[in-house]
Structure 1
Amino acid sequence: MTVTATAGQPAWTHSLFRSGWLDGSALNFFLEELNPAWSLVRPAVRIRQIIEETHDTRSFVFKPAWGFGRAIAGQHVGIGVDIDGRRHERRYSISNAPAAQARGLVTITVKREPNGKVSNHLHDRIKVGDRVFVSPPQGDFVLPSPAPQKLLLIAAGSGITPLMAQLRSLLSGRYSGSIVLLNYVRSQQDRIFGAALDELAEHHPQLSVHWCLEKENAERFSASQLQQRVPDYAERFALLCGPAGFMQVVRQHWHEQALDERLRFEYFGTPQPLKSDDKPAGVAAHIALARSGRSISAEANQSALAALEAAGETPSYGCRMGICQSCRCRKVSGPVRNLLTGAVSHEPNEEIQLCISAAEDDLVLDY
């Protein structure tokens, strides 16, 4: 492990790192042994409060350690827990506004996933007073600056969490524009932040909240449903977050309406290519692994991460959504397609994210 001084750490650590007098890995080991909260990489923090949002969703409130930095609404943090002697980390969106964070508390909101090792551990084992390991905020899913005067927020399931932070940030900052929130949930019992959103809509006339209930009203996203709910959607700058399948449908509609530039999104799940970006089924490429000399096959539209795992390799990864940067790898040569944007790059010797990069033809990776 290589540890370097980062923004937010005391100035003396920067001088020692630059001078070579301080070995980051050794120092971090001893600091963590003395006190987990002193880690230079992922300090441990105590959970101050746990809020039951729905039957399967909880919010966890903590006071960040030094070096955490300032989060922007829409960003996420790494949450690490020790399970059976191994450290596991997942990234979760911050759901409170920066103004609340300035008072010293950060909130993440976690939906229990059926096979989610970390989410189930947080729900079943973590109590007020317990410690979790937290890495600094990251992410590009943030509001444009300045914020457009007409906004459309589209959420499904736990995708509401980063949008809730953005909504709270806008309204606490006296935003005067118009906001429409389309929130797709399975039932009334699955309304994450239900009471809070209803209260915000009641006190802020520029906010319109639409609950799209699948179970009670059989309401799902479609072009006609969108037109009925938000007739001026094409005039609004849209922010989208939710499960991969849901997002693929929404993105496809924006793409067909030539509105891609007016849509910003973040995946909660593995990204899927738009239909117009799909390669024909069965088309494959070969990925050469420069360090081992192996050559593996990649299926059409398969991420390089998935191809490596299918071949028995164990690459580093975190979110599997193109967010955390844990799977960055140098591409020596060959074309790759970004599964989020559809953009194809032929540039040699560039850093790519394995989880959102698909081989367009034969590749060489520095792996």
Structure 2
Amino acid sequence: MTATTGKKHRSFPTIEFTDSEAGALEFPSSRSRSFTYYTPAKKRSTTYEDVTVDVQPDPDRHLTQGWIYGFGDGPGGYPQEWTAAKSSNWHAFLDPNEEWDQTIYRNNSKVVHQVELCLSNAKRARVYDGWNTPWLTFIARNLGAWMHAENGLALHVFTSIQRSCPTNMINTAVAVNAAHKMRFAQDLALFNLDLSEATADFDGALHKEVWQSAPEWQPTREVVERLTAVPDWCELLFATNIVFEQLVGSLFRTELVMQIAARNGDYITPTLVGTGEHDYDRDVTYTRNLFRLLVRDEEYGESNKSLFADWLNTWVPRCLNAAQALQPIWSQPADKAVTFASSLEAAHAKFSSLLEEIGLDLPKELDK
């Protein structure tokens, strides 16, 4: 057998670098630093538009081959049939707050810093030592109970529908809404813990019993639980941000807590609750714009208006009943700076103004 000598040489084909056909072509926008597949709302596009518009696929726009994925029971992607409301162009909605990934962290970090500074200063100055017992009981019972409402809306209303909307612009706004609610609920929980540690007169566990069994809070709890069972994402958004928050949420937060806290020697709670009201002010802004767009839709405006009237007929009586049931808590603080009648009147006025801005008729229940 002859032994093989020398090195074995291998040959390789010559590597030839070529441009991919599409990448090598020159287009009118080849050197542009902005996207051209959508028309910005103003002369120049914003970062918000760049990162949200058409990010979510839609067969009616660029996904011409249809949905590339779907659910086991048939519908694909983001079905428009998940709501009874209709639009000739869901993509026309843009969040006036221009919320996107960075703004969520930037805005919430500012709020968290404000709350932490407020609570740490309160503990260092022993502010809670000067609060009277009726006010401590009011906070333990009612602000603690409201924490459950905020948590329920965060987890089982806004979080549940932030995947259901037909465009990324709506879904992003709803997701931020969920983050607002969750952060505020957690702030209330931390406030409860601080008070529990600071004074023996504060019952930090009372809120659970109040939320579950106190007669004045059961209609509110019922409305929140009914909201979690609504399958239509648009109705859920309407019933929560347009009806419940106006007639119950703002009634409690703005027209009661924010009005009477200082009169009872409390300058901490308004700062905390004020962050929740600031959140809602932003959230109701995008909600108002969305429903105003649907009411003014050239093709479906009238049918949407009729649909929203039906939703008002369903949810306004429930929320008014919840608001009326809360009347006894207006008498619990030692210093009663406002009456329930004046607070409810202010809430009605804001609610009526909101409906007028959207373009909806006032429900007859407000006249009673």
| Shorter-chain TM-score range | under 0.3
Q: Give the TM-score of the pair, scaled to structure 2.
A: 0.24
RCO higher in structure (CA 8 A, sep ≥6):
2
- Which has the greater radius of gyration? 2
Query: Which is richer in strand?
Result: 1
Q: Give the TM-score of the pair, scaled to structure 1.
A: 0.24
